[in-house]
Amino acid sequence: MRRSLVVGNWKMNGSEAFVEKLLADLIGGLSEQQAEIAVCPGYVHIAQATSLCAGTPVVVGGQDCSHVQSGAYTGEVAAAMLCDLGCQWVILGHSERRQYHGELSALIGAKLAAAVEAGLRPILCVGETREQRENGDAETIVASQLRGALLEQANLSGLVVAYEPVWAIGTGLTASPEQAQEMHAFIRSCLEEIPGVDAGATRLLYGGSVKGANAAELFFQPDIDGALVGGAALDATEFLAIINAA
Ligand code: 13P
């Protein structure tokens, strides 16, 4: 039995005042939920978030980390630094990192190794663009993103994979539950071929315009174990509705 996981990716949003209000509303609105919950603020708000979430069911993660442990890498943040601030998770290989920062699988794989080494649980994001889907290449792309980051890893403990079709991110377009399920089943079959991964036990999150209104039908699918939520995670009422659907 895989426990549901709902993760909020706040991206480059928020201020101290915003974080304080959002987390107060979120934590105050939690009921007897069964799902595991994490929020991933921008780096500068992580310490504030871990302090506000202490003693609650909400844990904190980073949105990225460096591929090396320390050294002359101006502007980078090491996985161990995220641990220092109380992070338990880190998102890696998000399509916005791939798109705007040119991140390729080799770098993402190195980040993943650094994160696991530091004790963080990685959330590896994969997903195809609209053009790739229209060309019938969605599965090939996703398989190569998985293999590129996961093959030859010494340790994949705690791994979570998030399927985020690029065409569904921030667009209001969601993959249909059937489309998402089909890709999640495919991802699970790919994971079976990766040494060190227990495919049946690995949680697969869907991401891309998840909201309170569409969460339940996505979570109903057998291979969808939770969500990686962008825009709707910035609204406590919407995020709580997604958590309650999980
Ligand atoms: P939206 O939920 O805003 O579409 O973003 C999804 C996402 O990119 C989460 O990582």
The one-character DSSP state at 121 is E
Position 66 scores a pLDDT of: 98
| 103 catalytic per annotation | no
Number of H helices, E strands in the chain: 10, 8
Domain hosting 188: range is: 5-245
Token readout for 205 is 């999150």
Which residue CA neighbors atom 7 of ligand 1 most closely? 230
**Separation between Cα atoms, residue 49 and residue 71, nearest integer Å:** 26
Query: Is pTM, for the whole model, over 0.85?
Result: yes
Q: How far is the CA of 7 from the centre of ligand 1 (A)?
A: 10
Paired strand residues for 5: 36, 226
> Would you write out the chain's pLDDT as a tens digit for each of its 246 residues?
899 999 999 999 999 999 999 999 999 999 987 899 999 999 999 999 999 999 999 999 999 999 999 999 999 999 999 999 999 999 999 999 999 999 999 999 999 999 999 999 999 999 999 999 999 999 999 999 999 999 989 999 899 999 999 999 888 888 899 999 999 999 999 999 999 999 999 999 999 999 999 999 999 999 999 999 999 999 999 999 999 999
Point out the catalytic residue in the list 45, 94, 103, 128: 94
| Mutational pocket test of ligand 1: of 167, 174, 229, the residue with most ligand atoms within 8 Å of the beta carbon | 229
CA-based nearest residue to 194, from 129, 137, 144:
144
For residue 172, what pLDDT is reported? 81
**SS3 assignment, position 169:** coil
Q: How many domains does the chain have?
A: 1
pLDDT at res. 111: 98
Per the DSSP assignment, residues forming a β-bridge with 161 are 124, 204
Tell me how far apart the alpha carbons of residues 165 and 177 are, in angstroms, rounded to a whole number.
Answer: 13
Q: Find out whether 214 and 171 touch, Cβ atoms under 8 Å.
A: no
Rg of the chain taking only CA atoms, in angstroms: 17
Say whether 134 is catalytic: no
Burial 185-197 (b: 16+ CB within 10 A, else e): ebbbebbeebeeb
Q: What is the CATH number of the domain that holds 112?
A: 3.20.20.70
